[in-house]
Structure 1
Amino acid sequence: MSAETPLKDLPKVDPTLKGQLEGFSAVNLKKTETEEKIHLPNREDVEAEKKVQAHLQAVEGFNTAQLKHANTQEKIVLPAQEDIETEKGQQALRQGIEGFDHAALKKAQTTEKNTLPTKEMIEEEKKA
C-alpha cells in the first residue's frame, strides 16, 4: 500500500487473528524439501512439434488451382432376382404375422390329469 493511504482506510484485522500472527514462530514449521518439476522438451518432442507445424503450414498453404477436375460416374447396381424373391418372402411373412386374426382361433379347454396312486401301488413302494 502506498504511504499516502490514511490509517483509518486500512482494513481491520480480527483481534484473535492478530494475536495468532504476532505469536507465530517459524521454529514450529516442518522442514520440507522442495522439488522443482520443470519439464523441458527433449529432441523427439521438438521434432514432433516441427512435423506438426510443417503439416499445418502445408495444409493452410495448399493451392487448390493444382487440383484436376474429376467427373463422377454413378453406377446403379440393381438387386438380383434371388434377392427380390427373398425380400418378397420376408415381407409376406411379416404381413402374415401382423395381420393375424386372433378371433379365428378356437377356444381350448385345458384339463389337468393327475392320477393318484392306488393303495396297492403305495404298499409296493413301501416294501421296496
Structure 2
Amino acid sequence: MSCSVPAAPAPPSLKDLPKVADDLKTELEHFKASNLKNADTQEKVILPSAEDVAQERNHNALMDGVENFQASSLKRTDTKEKIVLPNAQDVAAEKTEKALIEGIERFDTSKLKHTLTQEKNPLPDKEAVQQEKTHQTLLNGVEQFDKATMKHTETAEKVVLPDKEAIEAEKGQRKLISGIENFDSTKLKHAETLEKNPLPTKETIAQEKSA
C-alpha cells in the first residue's frame, strides 16, 4: 500500500512579503559592523547556599508526599463523643451570674426615690476652737521660726540637772512635735456624722466674740 506525499507549499509572492519601513531599510543597507563596540561578557554562576538546598529538598519531599499519598494507608477510627456535665458548684455559679445580669438589664429606674440633701454645718464648741488655735500657733512657730532673730550668748559651763517637772515638760513637747511630724493619716477611722445643728446660746456667742 503506497502513501501519498503532500506537495511542498508554494513560496509566497513578493506582494505577500512583509514590508519594511523606508528609514529602517536605509539603516540596514548602510549598517557597518565596524561601528560595533567590543564588550566583555562576564559569566556569573551563583550557587545556592546550604539553606537554599535544604529548603528545596524539604519542599520537594513535601510535594512528593502529597502527590504520592495513598489513601489506602489510612486507618479507620471511631469518634467518641464525650459530654462533661457541670458539677453543682458550676451550676450554682451560672445561675447566680444569670440572675445578676438579668437584674441589671431589667432594673427599673422609676422605682428609685428622690432624696433631698440637707447641708448642715455644726459649729465647734469653745474647747475645739481653743485646741485648734493652740495647734495652729505651735505649727506656725515651728514652720516660720527665723534663726536670724537669735542672739549670740556666751555659754557658761554649768552642769545643772533638770528637775522632774522640766524633764516631763520636755518629754511632752518632744512627743507633741514628733506626733505632728510623724502623723499617719491612714490610721484615722471612718466616723459616721450625726445630723445635728444645735444653735449657740447667747453666752456661747459672747464667749466666741471675746476669744
Q: Does the alignment reach a TM-score above 0.5?
A: yes
Distance 1:71 1:4, change over 3 A: closer
Deviations 1:5-63 (A, max 9, x none): 134xxxxxxxxxxxxxxxxxxxxxxxxxxxxx975312332232112111211122110
Distance 1:104 1:47 in 2: 75
Aligned twin of 1:68? 75
The size of the alignment, in residue pairs, is: 90
* 2:85 aligned with 1:78: yes
Rg larger in 1 or in 2?
2
* 2:13 aligned with 1:6: no
Q: With the length of structure 2 as denominator, give the TM-score of the two structures.
A: 0.36
Aligned twin of 2:115? 108
Misfit runs of 4+, over 2 Å: 37-40, 110-116
- Counterpart residue type for residue 82 of structure 2: K
1:14-33 equivalences under 5 Å are none
Aligned twin of 2:98? 91
- Counterpart residue type for residue 84 of structure 1: V
Aligned twin of 2:53? 46
Distance 1:66 1:113, change over 3 A: same
Distance 1:47 1:104 in 2: 75
Indicate the SS of the match to 1:59.
Answer: helix
Kindly report the root-mean-square deviation, in angstroms, between the aligned alpha carbons of the 2 structures: 3.1
Indicate the SS of the match to 2:51.
Answer: helix
Structure 1's unaligned 5+ residue stretches are: 8-36
